[in-house]
Amino acid sequence: MLLFIGSPRFLSLSKLIFIPKTISLSVSASKMELESPTTLILCGKSSIENELAMLLKTNNTLKLPENASINVVLHSENEKQESFQKDAFQIDSYMNSLSTSRVGKFLIYSPKLASTHDVVSHNFCELPLGTVCVADVQLKGRGRSKNVWESPKGCLMFSFTIQMEDGRVVPLVQYVVCLAMTEAINDVCLRNGIPPPNVRIKWPNDLYLDGLKVGGILCTSTYRSKKFNVSAGKQFHSLTIHTSRR
């Protein structure tokens, strides 16, 4: 379940639950994780994207907020190590399944980072349009109004970039992405012979299942050279779907 740390529901629970001193250990651990270098693994669908990945690494182009330390690795250099991590995001499976003309052809993957949204928005002009950033774990997932998201392993967490000239269209991006997420969930379930869950949209950017918030969309934009640079981030918690078979 996704939960806003600042939500009234969470605050009311915090008044009733005794929080032991050991919680400080987990907070310290999270702080140490944030201070350690963030590994970004770059991969492209074609030789063009892979050449760009090489340039980004060689020139130390990619940056993170507050000048956080980065360790940039090419997927071709890291394939053997990744193959042993079966519970991690599978880059090769992703690339082999990709059929888009632009979106997702340049991939940034990280086992653990602060925020996928920060990666694409902070490096928007250095990355090709349609770049996707995926993470197994987020330590500082972002929501609307500076809310913080719970982002444990097992969630679907990614952000991508798009660009448009008509400012009237920009606010509609979050609606389109919400619809795309629900359609994708239904499509995956149907292709695997599973009844689609009744995921509903709470406009403008939340996904609910059985009254619980299970996903959210965050879109931000900047205006530069008469174009809107839009970074769209999504998080969706994993679902356990119970079906009866005869």
**188 contacts 195 by C-beta, under 8 angstroms:** no
Give the Cβ contact number of residue 14 at 10 Å: 10
- For residue 22, pLDDT over 50 is answered with no
Confidence tier at 217 by pLDDT (50, 70, 90): very high
CA angle 144–90–182, rounded 5-degree value: 45
- For residue 146, pLDDT over 50 is answered with yes
Residue with tokens 């609910």: 208
Task: Give me the mean pLDDT over the 63-78 stretch.
Answer: 93
- On whether the 35-236 domain is CATH 3.40.50.720, my answer is no
**196 contacts 185 by C-beta, under 8 angstroms:** yes
Query: Residue 18's pLDDT is what?
Result: 32
Give the C-alpha separation, 179 to 47, whole Å: 32
Any idea of the CA torsion for 108, 111, 115, 120, to the nearest 10 degrees?
0
Residue with tokens 């950017």: 205
Buried b (16+ CB within 10 A) or exposed e, 214-239: bbbbbbbbeeeeeebbbbbbbbbbee
pTM over 0.95: no
| Span 160-191, pLDDT tens digits | 999 999 999 999 999 999 999 999 999 999 99
Q: Specify the DSSP element, H or E, that contains 77.
A: helix 75-83
Segment among 33-37, 54-58, 145-149 with least mean pLDDT? 145-149
